[in-house]
Amino acid sequence: MREFTDLSRKPVLIIGAGISGLATARLLTQHCIPNVVFEASSADRNQGFSITLRKWAYEPLLHELGDISTETLAKAIAPDRHVGGAGSLDQALRDVSSGQKLIAPEPAKDGTSDRKMFRANRNALRVWLRDCGEQEVDVRYRHKLKSFQGELGNLKVEFENGVNFEGSLIIAADGVHSTVRQHMLAHINPEIVPVVVFHGDFHLSHEEFNTIIKPSIGDSNILGGVGDSFNTPITVSNINEKGVDLDWSYSRAVRGDNDPLFNPYGTQDQLRQIPNDLLYELESAKLASPFSYVLSAEHIQKNGLFNWVSRSVFVSRSDLNSALEQGVVFVGDSWHAMPIFGGEGGNHALLDTVELSKALLDNSFQGGRKMENEEKGHLLEARLHNYYDGAYKRCHDAVRRCRQRFGLLHRPIEEWRMLAEQKSQQPT
């Protein structure tokens, strides 16, 4: 007979201090469930780019954290928080060859609680999740998971620095390359999405930003740009007294079998090299300002870039169930990494954590696939199954949607222009 697996006896071991790991730790800590987060990198590692947070994800989290207001969150994590901003974003897409707006959906209301989405600096979000409550979240940096063994209720983990730990449950929050997943579900390999993505940082003084970018971006933290089957958003990742940090990206579908810009197996050094083919492609696109400024050969050569390999993962329910029997539950990119073009991965990561903590705490839990067995050890297992019962379809649909959105965002410019024309003829 399985032992009683009470989560208050041995801590929950959370692997990874990205947004899913830290949100889980914050929620468990708030409910007095002992937990420890183990993170491979050091505390000062930056994940500075910005992401779009959506109401359907951040609102349930804020509710669980004690009805914190959207405004409080936005003012703590928005890229423009240091200059009084709250992460507003304009969803308009511009034609990068003219700089003019092509498609301009109704602007998001800049009020507070009814905002459907806002931009967040990912690093500021991690820090906020770690520090927003009264009780301290226990994060052990420089603890890279090496291996683990045991079963639900009784697990032993070993880290590369030689430290060992015991716990009741492992929460795998260690991202798309999850060590936990590789350890127990080695047959699952992240799929490489056939897309070329280059990404770069750009720092401007306030004066340069106000002259070059502000006339187009206004108060928004993102400037969406589309060209002929490619996409080039410019985003604000941080504004402070020293200036403005921007990110840009350039993406398009892979062309044929020998696309010189598609390098999925490149080393980190190779992925940082600036291909002449890219510079030529950007020059041929004849970008208008401010895209021409940020993505000019001169600035790319000065600031560098990174060739991003886009990966997608989705773990099947039967694999999730077998991992669960061995004491592991997944949150975030470790089980559903999705192409970035849908802008949903981080949001589903947050929602996972809310649903998981609710499932773990559900005292009224009745029924469920494992409840016929009334041992208390199985109650925990049943609660974890209940989490997947809710989250599985949501995440499966999201991965599919993000893949489809890739096609929509990279359509030929003629299609964009036709769409814009149709939209302009619709009654307002």
Ligand X SMILES: Cc1cc2nc3c(=O)[nH]c(=O)nc-3n(C[C@H](O)[C@H](O)[C@H](O)COP(=O)(O)OP(=O)(O)OC[C@H]3O[C@@H](n4cnc5c(N)ncnc54)[C@H](O)[C@@H]3O)c2cc1C
Nearest CA to 351 out of 7, 1, 27 is that of 27
Q: Enumerate residues 264-293 that contact ligand X by CB under 6 A.
A: none
Q: Contacting ligand X (CB under 6 A), which of 101, 140, 144, 311?
A: 144
- What is the residue whose two structure tokens read 């941080």? 238
Question: Token digits for 330?
Answer: 């997944």
313 belongs to the binding site for ligand X (CB under 6 A): no
Beta bridge partners of 12: 35, 169
Applying CB under 6 A, the span of 5-13, 38-46, 82-90, 212-220 interacting with ligand X comes to 38-46
238 belongs to the binding site for ligand X (CB under 6 A): no
Q: Enumerate residues 44-73 that contact ligand X by CB under 6 A.
A: 49, 51-52
Please, which residue, 11 or 346, has the CB nearer to ligand X? 346
Question: What is the smallest separation between the CB atom of 321 and ligand X, expressed in angstroms?
Answer: 20
Please, which residue, 159 or 291, has the CB nearer to ligand X? 159
349 belongs to the binding site for ligand X (CB under 6 A): yes
Q: Contacting ligand X (CB under 6 A), which of 345, 379, 381, 391?
A: 345
Please, which residue, 94 or 181, has the CB nearer to ligand X? 181
Question: What is the smallest separation between the CB atom of 96 and ligand X, expressed in angstroms?
Answer: 18
85 belongs to the binding site for ligand X (CB under 6 A): no
175 belongs to the binding site for ligand X (CB under 6 A): yes
Euclidean distance between CA atoms 334 and 332, whole angstroms: 6
Question: What is the smallest separation between the CB atom of 387 and ligand X, expressed in angstroms?
Answer: 15
173 belongs to the binding site for ligand X (CB under 6 A): yes
234 belongs to the binding site for ligand X (CB under 6 A): no
Q: Contacting ligand X (CB under 6 A), which of 40, 171, 329, 379?
A: 40
Euclidean distance between CA atoms 232 and 235, whole angstroms: 10
Alpha-carbon distance values, 157 to 28, 144, 200, 323, 332 (Å): 20, 11, 37, 15, 21
Applying CB under 6 A, the span of 71-79, 107-115, 344-352, 356-364 interacting with ligand X comes to 344-352
Convert residues 372-401 into a mask of x (bound to ligand X by CB under 6 A) and - (unbound): ------------------------------
Please, which residue, 193 or 379, has the CB nearer to ligand X? 193
In contact, 50 and 221? CB cutoff 8 Å:
yes
In contact, 350 and 344? CB cutoff 8 Å:
no
Q: Contacting ligand X (CB under 6 A), which of 85, 225, 346, 377?
A: 346
Question: What is the smallest separation between the CB atom of 377 and ligand X, expressed in angstroms?
Answer: 27
Please, which residue, 45 or 358, has the CB nearer to ligand X? 45
Applying CB under 6 A, the span of 28-36, 37-45, 72-80, 411-419 interacting with ligand X comes to 37-45
347 belongs to the binding site for ligand X (CB under 6 A): yes
Q: Contacting ligand X (CB under 6 A), which of 35, 38, 202, 314?
A: 38
CA 393 from centre of chain: 18
Question: What is the smallest separation between the CB atom of 249 and ligand X, expressed in angstroms?
Answer: 7
Euclidean distance between CA atoms 308 and 402, whole angstroms: 17
27 belongs to the binding site for ligand X (CB under 6 A): no
Q: Which residues bind ligand X (CB under 6 A)?
A: 15-21, 38-41, 49, 51-52, 122, 144-145, 173-175, 179, 332-333, 340, 343-347, 349
